Amino acid sequence: MEEKQRAEVRIEVTDGAAIPTEKDRGLLSAWRIAFFGSIALVIGLCIYKPHPYLDILEFVPDGIRVTFEVTIISIILSFFVGMLTGLGRISKNRGINLIASTYIEVIRGIPLLVQLFYIYYAVGSFTRIPPFFAAILAMTICYGAYMGEVFRAGIESIDPGQTEAAMSLGFNKRQTMFYVILPQAMRTILPPVGNEFIALLKDTSLVSIIAVADLLRRGREYATSTFNYFETFTMVALIYLIITLLLSKFVSIMEKKMTPYE
């Protein structure tokens, strides 16, 4: 019974998209309506009015690629930063705990846009940082702090008896953490990590401010050259929506695969 209850532990976050599950039929139905409705709307707009909707769709693919590059690199780096920060948060070493806790408090207290400006412009006044790398650095630092709390909560959700059992088998603290605790914690942290991935992808729209040619910036370039602002940002919004809905479904599938059979 305790194992069953432990497997059902979830860490809810609100920054990212909702993850559709079979247990929540309303949300699953809403996901289908939003996803297939968005695709149908994009196709319909391109057929009904190819200029400018089809032109926009042909103009932004390189921006979509840049958006995914920034997102994927940043989420991988922030995952490891978050894991180290989460381990630091539960460390019994007061110095390490203080450093990790201070990092989380400071970074989470500063808006991401300010961090982007600080790294690109303020730090850039001393040493030139290319826009693409400045974007990845800011995203990693910002989301590493949020991921740190996700890891901390996931690790602390594991029954202390697991640690005691591993130690009784001769595992040291490091082996216990990496071979016993973290693999179990991954099941718990997958939904919030997936949510952070989706939230990060949406926040990449901010990197257009520092001249990174992502989806939003490419849309802005098209809009300013054609003055088709309504059509351009309608298409950009639909593309973002389709991508985030696809990712939320992917996270839902991964979560289901990692959930132990009851």
Using the predicted structure, report yes or no on whether residue 261 has a pLDDT greater than 80: no
DSSP symbol at 124:
G
Q: In Å, what is the CA distance from 260 to each residue of 161, 191, 256?
A: 19, 15, 8
Which residues lie below 8 Å from residue 4, measured CB to CB, with a gap of 6+? 262
Rounded Cα gap, residues 155 and 184, in angstroms:
8
Q: Is 211 left (phi over 0), alpha (psi -120 to 50) or beta?
A: left
- Using alpha carbons only, give the angle 147, 242, 198 rounded to the nearest 5 degrees: 5
Q: Which of 99-108, 153-162, 218-227 has the lowest mean pLDDT?
A: 153-162
Over residues 9-48, the pLDDT tens digits come to 554 545 556 667 667 667 778 888 999 999 999 999 999 9
CA torsion angle 189 192 197 201 (round to 10): -170
DSSP symbol at 207:
G
Rounded Cα gap, residues 209 and 227, in angstroms:
19
Over residues 177-205, the pLDDT tens digits come to 888 888 888 888 887 888 888 999 999 99
Contact of 19 with 191, CB cutoff 8 Å: yes
> What domains does the chain contain, in order, with CATH numbers?
24-258 (1.10.3720.10)
Please report which confidence band the pLDDT of residue 120 belongs to, taking 50, 70 and 90 as the band edges. very high
Q: What is the mean pLDDT of the chain?
A: 87
**pLDDT at position 13, please?**
47
pTM: 0.85
